[in-house]
Amino acid sequence: MVKNQIEARGVDDPRVLEAMAAVPRHLFLEAAQAPAAYEDHPLPIGRGQTISQPYIVAFMAQALALSGTEKVLEVGSGCGYMAAVLARLCRRVLGIELEADLVRRAQAALEDAGVANATLRCGDGKLGWRSEAPFDAILLSCAADFIPPDLWEQLAEGGRMVLPLAVHPTHQDLVIVYKTPAGSVTRNLLPVVFVPLR
């Protein structure tokens, strides 16, 4: 998976490649989906949601350019797989997921994978996690029509946010937005397809 789907497409951060190789993706899927865990496509996880394609997980993680010291917020944690990858790249991950049953399953999977520095809770991701702010980086694993103002407020000065933006009803762009003293700086990364932020 790492060599053929991720490294071959240009993801070259050695820490990201190591994290992708180390996290057992099948633990974050139900038993019926486990045989397809390392294939090159997203998979359903219930409640109309998916676990992202391995390449997209790695690409987004690399875009955040984490050094290991950061506190990261993930919105739309789903099955917990992205949180597990991020947990190997930063100091602490906090994840928010709207569906309570997914949170329970994700927490169990994180424990099974030995991840100790990721905490998930059920809630409205658009509102962020104010008591834990500010965050050095924020990642949305769901598509938004615009940057939620509460999330932008909770992003630290000098921080970055990676998210899919639904720029058109039939088109989404993965972007990275930097919070600078002069305002926001946005860079388009690639076209994507994500479930919507609810």
Write out the catalytic residue numbers. 52
Residue 156's CB: how many other CB atoms inside 10 A? 15
Q: How far apart are CA 34 and CA 165, in angstroms?
A: 30
In eight-state DSSP terms, residue 30 is -
Using CA atoms, how far apart are residues 83 and 195, in angstroms rounded to an integer? 17
| SS3 label, residue 35 | helix
For residues 79 and 83, what is the distance between their CA atoms, to the nearest angstrom?
Answer: 9
Structure tokens belonging to residue 107: 């927490």
- The total number of residues shown for the chain amounts to 198
